[in-house]
A and B are shown apart, each in its own frame.
Chain A
Amino acid sequence: AQSVSQHNHHVILSEAASLELGCNYSYGGTVNLFWYVQYPGQHLQLLLKYFSGDPLVKGIKGFEAEFIKSKFSFNLRKPSVQWSDTAEYFCAVNESNAGNMLTFGGGTRLMVKP
């Protein structure tokens, strides 16, 4: 069974700082990769996704992620965070032969200080 690891459980940054959240997965086959964000008290929203093609994908709100197949990684980045980016961030992986069910990482809680 596949697993997803997010190494940073809590991250605290000041506004304008750069962000990188790590995500590694264990499955060796073909996967689809996602980052979701959950703002306080809200539901999960898709930030970006990777299915194939250019390994550097750009999402909403200035976020991007890079798929590095050799490292089984899909790290999320943003060059300059804002207070409104305070949220929980979840990396997720999907195998097409698993009923499209997503396996989530444990989440990273980001707090941006104004």
Chain B
Amino acid sequence: DTAVSQTPKYLVTQMGNDKSIKCEQNLGHDTMYWYKQDSKKFLKIMFSYNNKELIINETVPNRFSPKSPDKAHLNLHINSLELGDSAVYFCASGHRGTDTQYFGPGTRLTVL
């Protein structure tokens, strides 16, 4: 009965690789989000997406791209991974009108 789930929980990879993190929500929400939490616990929005609109935080490198096969999924694809990409990535979902977001358990990405 997990509301927002992410896989994998941990991801360790080499610089230059391409990787994806998957996110699924079973709450029937129309909007999904990706956040990055750095080593100092600072949380920053990366993307907001529903089936009509993608909003990208302008500071996010174009190596990062969200991909949504359907309304319940928003995967995060990262090309040419860099050391600075090491962080915990959180997926969240919510209804666009109600503003409360529910977070997934996070994926800890380590780039070596």
Contact = CB atoms under 8 A, between A and B. Distances in A.
A94 B92 CA distance: 14
Given A46-B102, A99-B55, A104-B45, 19 more contacts: A36-B103, A42-B105, A43-B90, A44-B90, A44-B103, A45-B103, A49-B99, A88-B41, A96-B99, A98-B55, A99-B53, A100-B33, A100-B101, A102-B45, A103-B45, A104-B35, A104-B44, A106-B41, A106-B42
A13 B53 CA distance: 44
A90 interface: yes
Give the size category of A's interface with B. 20 to 34
Contacts of A109: 41
Interface of B: 31, 33, 35, 40-45, 48, 53, 55, 57, 90, 92, 94, 96, 99-106
